[in-house]
Amino acid sequence: MRATVIHAPYDIRVEEVPDPIIRQPTDVLVRVLRSCICGSDLWPYRGEVARKPEPGARIGHEFLGVVTDAGSEVTGFAAGDLVVAPFLWSDGVCDFCQEGLQTSCVRGGGWGSPEVDGGQGEAVRVPFADGTLVKLPAEAASDDRLLTALLSLSDVMGTGHHAAVGAGVRPGSTVAVVGDGAVGLCGVLAARRLGAERIIMLGRHRARTDIATSFGATDIVAERGDAAVAAVRELTGGQGAHAVIEAVGTEQSMTTALGIARAGGAIGYVGAPHGSGDGVNLRTMFDANIALRGGVAPVRAYIPELLPDVLDGTIDPSPVFDLTVGLDEVPGGYKAMNDRAALKVLIKP
């Protein structure tokens, strides 16, 4: 089969790789119908990771598709089932999985490691299928928009929701969102879904702020840095936002998040840290009783909660995908996202 591999920074290729086979009785094989490129895929793409991927390493961690074969111990899935995968696989039975923190599964792992296929390819061997996958209604396979919306449950929508939960969004909350990427935009959707009354989006890219407005943002702040902090303070009567979603991960984004958080409020941080630790000022947090919650999102735990709302159209994250490519065009998709010419790239293998 064909799959996406990374050889070196800025060197993404689509190559012939071995077809996946059932290796463990708890595996299933999935033929990928939809995959996508994540903002976090850009870190290895740019070479901005501590441990460089091995040349030829597989990549991609968001996908949905159809089960083509199931191991003998798989009870929840059979050939023909439409399924979505979270961005990590997990056994579903350990203490952490039982607590809804599948990201800390003691036997779990990531897609694209040497033994496990990446998501940006034609097919994937899924370990611990019963613990990892979630079944989707078969009818969704014939609805192109819905299928795209459901793919967001693999990562961005669940991650935006995790940020909103971490930030303590409640009915009536004032929320501010730092980061106009797909996760930040899904954070807007999640905040509205949780009953936020006012949602302030920080961003200046018109195509993105338009999506934010359609997702429920009530105010757009185009300023950056100190000017953004002043603008949000002015919009909130000097107080700041009860709930701040931090979806970038840099020192500046965290400094801004802290600057716009209301005393007694919380920051939900889901941007993979690339310097954001340097923006955490404990003295400021201490003096104003600001909490910091979040981390890598256990999206597997959120899929059952969010799925009905995606299916009935209560939330439709599909607009975050603004460019669609075939498998052979994936390298161009990375370039488009890296150049910020695309917000999030959908892959139809």
Q: Give min distance, CB of 291 to Zn ion, in A.
A: 27
Q: Is 345 in the site for Zn ion (CB under 5 A)?
A: no
91 near Zn ion, rule: CB under 5 A: yes
Of the pair 61, 193, the CB lying nearest Zn ion is at 61
Among 90, 120, 159, 174, which residue sits at the site for Zn ion (rule: CB under 5 A)? Answer: 90
Among positions 97, 126, 157, 185, the unique one binding Zn ion when judged by CB under 5 A = 97
Does 316 engage in binding with Zn ion (CB under 5 A)? no
90 or 250: CB nearest Zn ion = 90
User: Do the beta carbons of residue 185 and residue 209 sit within 8 Å?
Assistant: no
Instruction: From 92-100, 138-146, 229-237, 249-257, give the range in contact with Zn ion by CB under 5 A.
Output: 92-100
Task: Count interface residues toward Zn ion (CB under 5 A).
Answer: 5
Between 94 and 222, name the residue whose CB sits nearer to Zn ion. Answer: 94
Binding mask 105-144 toward Zn ion (x if CB under 5 A, else -) reads x---------------------------------------
Q: Which is nearer to Zn ion, 94 or 280 (CB)?
A: 94
**Which residue number is nearest to Zn ion in terms of Cβ?**
105
Give the footprint of Zn ion on this chain (CB under 5 A): 90-91, 94, 97, 105
